[in-house]
Structure 1
Amino acid sequence: MRRSVVTSVSALVLALAAAGCAEPRGLPAPALGPAAEDSAALVATAAARADEQRSVRFAAENAVAGREVRLDGDLLRAPEGRLLSLTEDGTDVVVLADAGYSRTAGGTWTRHDPGERVPVRADATIGDLPDEVDPAAVVRSLAGALVVARAEEVLDGVPTHRYTMLVDLRVQAERTADSTRRAQLLAADESGFTATAVVWVGPGDLPVRVEQVLTTLEDTTFQRVVHRFSNWNADVRVAAPAP
């Protein structure tokens, strides 16, 4: 009796393997959703989907007047607010709900109140810094722009919808909370600068990359800002640095 049971189980396993059921199959990759009909739908959907995610890895480049600044880090949405850790030009910054911390070149950490200026951003406070890298905030800053071209593109191995947009600098300035940034946008508009943006949206309607360019009347690039987003919902921890 015992030998027959073993034989039956072995036969069942072989039959399942032959049918392709012996090993679990991986989940299918997320599918790319339909393209947005206009900029309002694009901004609303991509920002809302980004807001729903627990965490994201970001990298950004800001090139202006011949100088380029790079930063990278993690953003975490916690019950107490948006928590942030980033590194820019050798300066590390940690932003918590009630305070921020910074250090340069691996030195001693300094504590900052939310209203203090950011060591890596002369025109932003500690409390404002998450808006600089939050994918939802970056996408929402393009509200009122006009989509002039759409295409499908595989970007870094990810299928995306690519949207090319014309940005109204005055509308963007009106939607900007930071007074210094608002003044910069209005000055660019009065100087006749042209603003364009390209947004890549991947599976789940999540932004993958956002590129914004300011062009002068002479058709030269004055500023180029690129944000990249990846590793959605990764296991991210942001805490106060050890004393």
Structure 2
Amino acid sequence: MFIKYILIDRIKGVRYMPKETFFNLVNEKKERVIEAAIDEFALRPYHQARITAIADNASIAKGSFYQYFEDKKDLFKYIIELSVNKKLKYINLDMIKNKDKYSFFQLLREVYLSGFRFAKRHPKLLAVASKLANNKELYREIFGEYKDKSLEFFLELLEQGIVEGAIDSKIDPVFVAKMLTNISYTLSDFIYEDGEIDLNNIDESMEIIDKMLYFIENGLKKRD
């Protein structure tokens, strides 16, 4: 899942805003609520996560929860947005700001690699994402809202690749961007198929990404 988040890091996605009363809380109390929510969503699948547990662990009344958020889904989506924003710290921003200095495939690999860096530092958020991967309905709802932004990101990279001569100018950039977006969404199924990622060995975890990048760069046709 974190792979998909990082695809939209540099582009503003849909925002999920708690109520104004939440933002009026002192920072220490806001952090308690956020941490309690992360702990609960990391421990239990979304539909089993308990608002009561979140309220208790955050030391707030259950009734106060609904003064801060519309419902559990509102809070969950806000946690996902916070996760996206945190990932900005793990991507090589020089590559994004100066993308004309890097090849299409260097940029694409860095996007995925930064996701692994983030996951290693934030295992609880990784656990939240892992459990979401098993909830297909909510999974599609949340990332369906971000999908257009992923498409825009890929399209920009492809157009740059065409200009620099690394990408065949005969391709249809919009069509290929849609393919890359769908492929990136499918990758999580492979990455999570064993239930976890070896974050202590990022190079090994990146093998799946490198296989995908090899296919994108070289295609299926045998070449001399």
**TM-score strictly above 0.5:** no
- Larger radius of gyration, structure 1 or 2? 1
TM-score scaled by length of structure 2: 0.26
